[in-house]
Amino acid sequence: MKCLLSICHKEISYNLFILAIAVYFGTVLNIPLWLAFYEILSKLERVNVGFVISLPIFIIAALNIIFQAFAWPYISRIFFGILTLISAITAYASYQYGVIFDYGMIENTFETNSSEALSFLSFSGFMAFFVLGIIPCCIIFFVKIKKQSFFGKFIMYKIISVIVSIMVIVLIASFFYKDYVSVGRNNKYINRVINPSYVYTGIKYIDETYFTKPIAYQKIGLDAKLVTTATSNGKPTLFVFVLGETARAQNYQANGYPRPTNQYTQSDNMISFKNVTSCGTATAVSVPCLYSAMDRNNYNKQVAYNQDNFIDILHRAGISMLWKENDGGDKGVGARIRKTTLKRDVHNPLCDGESCFDMALLNNFDQEVAQMKGSKFITLHIMGSHGPTYYKRYPKDHTFFTPDCQRADIENCTKEQIVNSYDNTILYTDYVISQLIQKLKGYSDKYNTALFYISDHGESLGEGGLYLHGTPYSLAPKYQTTVPMMMWFSKSFTQDRGLNLTCLEHIANNAKRGDYSQDNVFSSMLGIMNVKTSVYKPQQDIFRQCRIN
């Protein structure tokens, strides 16, 4: 504390104040960047020592130039104080979980609800925030800065500081230009690791989300209509679409995982596609993309939010729709149909005031089905395996794999504990699905029943130093981009649709990575629900080749 007070009592020049901030950002708050450079350079056969030494100097000089643009009396302390606090959080997240704050992660951060945000709180996180953010912020606010007698002199010193920094960068470039170009071209993600590069991305997101005029809403599939097939038995359909959260395909027993994570649905003859890829690595991208008519390669957020998705088209064709939410939001997908959100009331034995176990989605299921007319399509958006508080996704009496990780700062748990907790979430999801199937079996005399389950994206559990999800797609490991896709059909449903399950199972078992993805969902849902429309793409319907009609 005495050391802190002595620093604050010293009077320094404005330029030294900004340079000190640039040094702090360039070294301490960019530790994740230096770790990334270490990993890159350690793989090279030869490394120029001078190039390595120049890296922090280059970053500090560049930051000094940028920071000088925001260094003005009356605003600089507030600006750099806030910047330091936010950057401390991003530095910690990048260091502990391998998070890269690109556009997708910024979008995911802004759209995270309070319950999800609170799940990231931990003692180690608070201490890191205190040391990296609050203490430096206090120094920024209380350190004494020399007052310039003339404004012209103040400007002159700023210009000199910028010129010197430019000269340093030019000098470094003259010696190591080839090294910088080589590393930059081969590791294009590296600029997104620099702290605080998130500022530019954040401004871009805010501008596009809140200040850019939205495009006109476009209705598609206006010709959609239900058709009757030759095999029709005349019964209406009851279809349940389970939208998963953060489940990765690699931890599914049905996909070859050695642990019994699908023991509840084993006897239900579910069909599992093993190599399905996601549209994104975060909910904010994957969910609207999955439901849209667009593919991952041409996905556009503005279009997705302002265009009909397959739910809208099914609804237009005369199918009764219901969306039940337990994961913090539908990302606009269910905006035009009936939607209910679970109340996280502490009086509900399946809720704790902050979140609910997914079994709560089955409450009032029978009443809700009774209130719907004709053929019915119900979406259940589950909490699934949302981290880092995996242990909060399953009740204590469903703790099958032990020891599990009973804390939010999963980096302080062992690898075994993390995997056990995560596998418990997969097993609990399997239990919820098995209970849904039992309910659907009870409706077999009245409806053609079916269930379809797919997760929005996967999850990293420490492989390669990465945790959670949201890594830029081009860099993301397969654990974040490979998702489970499973389905169950009643006997009357398969007969009504002319669906050959042996054929479908053969396709599922022999599919290679890249054969099927979330791009297939749009047309597959239109097809299996017998909705005819011009926007249907038969080549993307996974059921088409296994149907008689």
How much is the pLDDT for 432?
Answer: 98
Question: What's the mean pLDDT in 150-170?
Answer: 91
The pLDDT of residue 34 is above 80 = yes
pTM for the predicted model, two decimal places = 0.85
Whole-angstrom distance, CA of residue 156 vs CA of residue 323: 62
Model confidence at 119, pLDDT cuts 50, 70, 90, reads: low
Q: Are 251 and 429 in contact (CB under 8 A)?
A: no
Task: Enumerate the domain spans of the chain.
Answer: 2-210, 225-546
The pLDDT of residue 1 is above 90 = no
Whole-angstrom distance, CA of residue 542 vs CA of residue 549: 14
Whole-angstrom distance, CA of residue 13 vs CA of residue 9: 13
The pLDDT of residue 7 is above 60 = no
Whole-angstrom distance, CA of residue 117 vs CA of residue 98: 17
268-292: per-residue pLDDT in tens?
999 999 999 999 999 999 999 999 9
Query: Could you name the CATH architecture of 225-546?
Result: 3-Layer(aba) Sandwich (3.40)
Mean pLDDT of the chain: 92
The pLDDT of residue 9 is above 70 = no
352-366: per-residue pLDDT in tens?
888 899 999 999 999
Question: What's the mean pLDDT in 529-541?
Answer: 97
Question: What's the mean pLDDT in 185-198?
Answer: 86
How much is the pLDDT for 311?
Answer: 98
425-476: per-residue pLDDT in tens?
999 999 999 999 999 999 999 999 999 999 999 999 999 888 999 999 988 9
The pLDDT of residue 518 is above 70 = yes
Q: Any idea of the CA torsion for 340, 342, 348, 349, to the nearest 10 degrees? A: 130
Question: What's the mean pLDDT in 490-504?
Answer: 96
